[in-house]
Structure 1
Amino acid sequence: MSGERLDVAIVGAGAMGAATAWHLARAGREVAVFERFEPGHVRGASHGASRNFNVAYAEPEYLSWLRDAEVLWRELEAEAGRTLLTTTGIVTHGPGVDHAATAAAITSAGLAAEVLDAREAASRWPGLRFEGPVLHNPTAGRLDADTSVAAFLTGAAVAGAAETRWNTTVSDIEVHGDDDVRFTATDAAGSRRVRARRLICTAGAWTQKTLAGVRGVSLPALRVTQEQPAHFRPLDPAASWPGFNHHPAADDDATSWFAAPVYGMLTPGQGVKAGWHAAGPETDPDRRSFVPDPALTDALVRYVRDWLPGVDATDLAEITCTYTSTVDARFVLERSGPIVVGAGFSGHGFKFTPVVGRTLAALAAA
């Protein structure tokens, strides 16, 4: 096997790896991104055309990150010359959230929030059914995931010495010093040994497999699940749809049967997307069935029939993806020697992508 020397190697060309490459390349660093699959693959968590840019958080640190994230999304948009973040507004409802307290936290952070009663919300968005108060964030919106990942990688390549190596697997990682990490890269041409000053692992569902046995690296528990949202046909193609989140409570008869909280948004050209948040079965990313769990499908159809009167609950197209989650849904952003890890984004990380990339790039630069 021949040798190769790099400044920064990134394992995984999904959203977080792509954003990290963008920040590093703009800072003048030489970056190689290694991705085991082809561009636009559907085996991970970053594919698809829609993610909610949801600001309904009560934690000050998340709200601070959201302010920065919006600035960075707009910066990437201007650079790419394409719309990535569309302002649609997002509504959050259900008894599982203190809407007034969350609205107060959001407005204290300088973001827009209002609390509506169910009648006012239904008059604005007749495609959704509401019971109880509704938190509305008018400046929140929808991100185009596929286009965003491509924009980060293109921006990194344009900014400097950054390249993406598709269909290339990284294995046998060894730490030889604080600025010396070595690994095997395997593609169609064969295997070669590579040496880098930094290795950043943003491998999503493959994080534990990629870093298993690497000296000095200790990961928290990461649970990989297969999730299965679906697109439903809207009854009125011209209707306006905000993004939405619906939080159940165990003592509420109307929502206690939910499999999990619900999220959704309109995906242009595909329909209204709705899904359970982190309700799917645990899976091995290399042995996924890609077949939706029929019980979760039935429950989702029931939800849509009860709570989304603006769509046809019988006309749906299911998709699958992975979540890689920590116990407390907090992100793993750590460095150990020459290895930096970004993982455990727990199904709510995409909106933070450019801030996560900035954080991982800073850790690598230290």
Structure 2
Amino acid sequence: MSAGPYAVIGAGLMGAATAWQLATRGAEVVLLEREVPAGDQGSSHGSARIYRYAYPDPFYAELLVHAEPLWVQLERESGRQLIDRVGCLDHGPGRDPEALARVLEQVGVEHALYSPAEARDRWPQLVVDTPVLHQPSAGVLDARTTVEAMVELAVAAGAQLHTRWPVTSITRTRSGFTLTGPDGAILEAAHVVVAAGGWLPELLGQLSLPGAFLTGLPEFTVMQENAYHFPYRDPGRPWPTTIHKDAMQVYTLPGGRDAGFAGQKVAEFNGGRPIRSAAAQDGVVDPANRDRVVEYVKRYLPGLVPEPYAETTCLFTNTPDEHFVLDTADGITVVSPCSGHGGKFAPLIGAMAADLATGTGGVPPVFRPGTAALAR
């Protein structure tokens, strides 16, 4: 393990996971958060994220299988339930449920395929017109509670947490880095892990990294997304999570605390608008997007009242190919497992980031475009 301390910037899902992994390995860790862990201005707030296995690419499905033992460990050590396994349904011609089923068969994940008629009988609150893939072990991840659990375990293992500590500059020194925060406060670190989510684009310019490494990183596009909560017509009927792709791709899931346990969270995937960074978000829901989602609910979700009783915005930090970025060079590790589908991998991403930062292990080459550019 390289000499500490390690400074982890960002106490969202990925930064908290990295700090937890580093601290439990005996490293000296300082976790820096510009507001509070899982704060409302980041990508890890709230109680409802989809936890699913189905991917067209077996690589990601198998990756989640590898993450499962870490989720079990995290729930056991924190004493909290983090995943509500209500199941997940995939349907629509754009999802190709049969192909997804073949992937799950390949990686050994329990699943079932239902005909449209069978699916309508089992889930009459939905309109389906293709076969439906059911993943019974999938469900809803409580993002905020997960962050809180990992931060608590990291602190218990010796990590320091600094809240309301936005990093204003990162300067390379002979022994590592000087990080400047509020009111000119400074911290010294031998290695910096940047897990800043939607703030990453504006931090990249401050990172003293090789030019070829930076050039090799993909373009990061921050999206301000919209999500809505619709009331259940029958509050006693259990709801799974769903992903449906036809003319548009829509995901739904029980809203948990975010919806007062009274409704389903519904959103169009990448239906929001690009912004230059998280600092530019305004929290204003796009009325055209709201209209599209309401029309979708009227057509495909008869089990919901098609009038949202709550709505919010959130951030996706996308790469063009939706692959994660986990790469390191010259004492800086960049952690951006983003594109709106990274949350369910959080403990594994934290372990990988810790491996990179300490030099004790590697990650799949597809996550290291900067290093690949350096090698060319």
> How far, CA to CA, are the matches of 2:223 and 2:38 in structure 1?
20
Alignment of 1:177-192 (within 5 A): 180-186=176-182, 190-192=183-185
TM-score of the superposition, structure 1-length normalised?
Answer: 0.91
Q: Which letter maps to 2:313?
A: T
> How far, CA to CA, are the matches of 2:149 and 2:86 in structure 1?
21
Which of these residues, 195, 202, 215, is aligned with residue 202 of structure 1? 195
User: Which residue matches 1:149?
Assistant: 147
Q: Deviations over 1:42-87 (max 9, x none)?
A: 1111001011111111323212211122221111111111111111
> How far, CA to CA, are the matches of 2:307 and 2:61 in structure 1?
37
> How far, CA to CA, are the matches of 1:74 and 1:144 in structure 2?
14
Which of these residues, 223, 226, 229, is aligned with residue 225 of structure 1? 223
Which of these residues, 265, 268, 273, is aligned with residue 281 of structure 1? 273
> How far, CA to CA, are the matches of 1:357 and 1:270 in structure 2?
33
Alignment of 1:123-138 (within 5 A): 123-138=121-136
User: Per the alignment, in what secondary structure is the counterpart of residue 298 of structure 2?
Assistant: helix
> How far, CA to CA, are the matches of 2:110 and 2:354 in structure 1?
30
User: Per the alignment, in what secondary structure is the counterpart of residue 355 of structure 2?
Assistant: helix
User: Which residue matches 2:364?
Assistant: none
Alignment of 1:1-366 (within 5 A): 7-158=5-156, 160-176=157-173, 180-186=176-182, 190-216=183-209, 218=214, 219-248=217-246, 256=247, 258=248, 261-268=249-256, 269-283=261-275, 284-366=277-359
- Is the contact made by 1:222 and 1:344 (CA closer than 8 Å) also made in structure 2? no
> How far, CA to CA, are the matches of 2:304 and 2:97 in structure 1?
26
User: Per the alignment, in what secondary structure is the counterpart of residue 320 of structure 1?
Assistant: strand
User: Per the alignment, in what secondary structure is the counterpart of residue 169 of structure 2?
Assistant: strand
- Is the contact made by 1:173 and 1:211 (CA closer than 8 Å) also made in structure 2? no
Q: Deviations over 1:162-182 (max 9, x none)?
A: 0210000112212346x6122
- Is the contact made by 1:266 and 1:273 (CA closer than 8 Å) also made in structure 2? yes
Judge which range, 37-46 or 87-96, deviates more.
Answer: 37-46
> How far, CA to CA, are the matches of 2:324 and 2:308 in structure 1?
36
User: Per the alignment, in what secondary structure is the counterpart of residue 148 of structure 2?
Assistant: helix
> How far, CA to CA, are the matches of 1:360 and 1:315 in structure 2?
39
Q: Which letter maps to 2:280?
A: R
Q: Which letter maps to 1:318?
A: E
Q: Which letter maps to 1:112?
A: E
Q: Deviations over 1:316-338 (max 9, x none)?
A: 31111010000000001000110
The structure whose residues are more often strand, as a share, is 1
Report the CA distance between 1:344 and its aligned residue: 5.0
- Is the contact made by 2:111 and 2:133 (CA closer than 8 Å) also made in structure 1? yes
Q: Which letter maps to 1:124?
A: R
> How far, CA to CA, are the matches of 1:352 and 1:335 in structure 2?
19
Q: 4+ residue stretches of structure 1 with deviation over 4 A? A: none
User: Per the alignment, in what secondary structure is the counterpart of residue 282 of structure 1?
Assistant: strand
Q: Deviations over 1:10-41 (max 9, x none)?
A: 00000000011111111111111111113442
User: Per the alignment, in what secondary structure is the counterpart of residue 76 of structure 1?
Assistant: helix
Q: Which letter maps to 2:288?
A: A
Report the CA distance between 1:93 and its aligned residue: 0.4
Q: Which letter maps to 1:27?
A: R
- Is the contact made by 2:169 and 2:206 (CA closer than 8 Å) also made in structure 1? no
Report the CA distance between 1:185 and its aligned residue: 2.1
> How far, CA to CA, are the matches of 1:157 and 1:38 in structure 2?
14
The structure whose residues are more often helix, as a share, is 2
Q: Deviations over 1:266-303 (max 9, x none)?
A: 12314101101112111242232211000000000000
Aligned CA RMSD, in angstroms, stands at 1.5
Report the CA distance between 1:121 and its aligned residue: 0.9
Report the CA distance between 1:105 and its aligned residue: 1.2
- Is the contact made by 1:228 and 1:320 (CA closer than 8 Å) also made in structure 2? yes
TM-score of the superposition, structure 2-length normalised?
Answer: 0.89
Q: Which letter maps to 2:250?
A: V
Note the residue ranges of structure 1 that are not aligned, 5 or more in a row.
Answer: 249-255
Q: Which letter maps to 1:153?
A: V
> How far, CA to CA, are the matches of 2:194 and 2:184 in structure 1?
19
Report the CA distance between 1:194 and its aligned residue: 2.3
Note the residue ranges of structure 2 that are not aligned, 5 or more in a row.
Answer: 360-376
Aligned in 2, Cα 1:80/1:213: closer, same or farther, shift over 3 Å? Answer: closer
Aligned in 2, Cα 1:325/1:21: closer, same or farther, shift over 3 Å? Answer: same
> How far, CA to CA, are the matches of 1:204 and 1:276 in structure 2?
20
Aligned in 2, Cα 1:73/1:281: closer, same or farther, shift over 3 Å? Answer: same
